[in-house]
Amino acid sequence: CLALFAERLQDIPKQNITIVATATLRLATNADEFKVKAEQILAHKINVISGELEARTIYKGVAHTSSCSGRQLVIDIGGASTEVVIG
């Protein structure tokens, strides 16, 4: 699966790519081992971000693509965490 992503990244300039990991890698007991192998396959660094940054980033994405005005409640139910943001 990661090899397929690596192929798709080849045509994108490296400076335009940011790879982040969220709760699954924050919680995994073998996170460091996985990161090393994944970074080798992807040829990019993986940044494990905090839950707060994860929530803020999700909120920004929703707010940017939503036609709603005013305050919004955004709930992201993920595989290993749930973020709730009111902005």
From the CB of residue 53, how many other CB atoms can be counted at a distance below 10 Å?
A: 13
Averaged confidence pLDDT in the chain: 94
How is residue 76 written in tokens? Answer: 């992201």
CATH topology of domain 1-49: Nucleotidyltransferase; domain 5 (3.30.420)
pLDDT for position 17: 97
pLDDT for position 27: 95
User: What pLDDT, in 10s, does the model give residues 22-56?
Assistant: 999 999 999 999 999 999 999 999 999 999 999 99
With residue 84 as reference, give the H or E element that holds it.
strand 82-86
Domain ranges of the chain: 1-49, 51-87
Angle at 40 between CA 33 and CA 48, to 5 degrees: 55
More confident residue, 46 or 79: 46
pTM of the model: 0.79
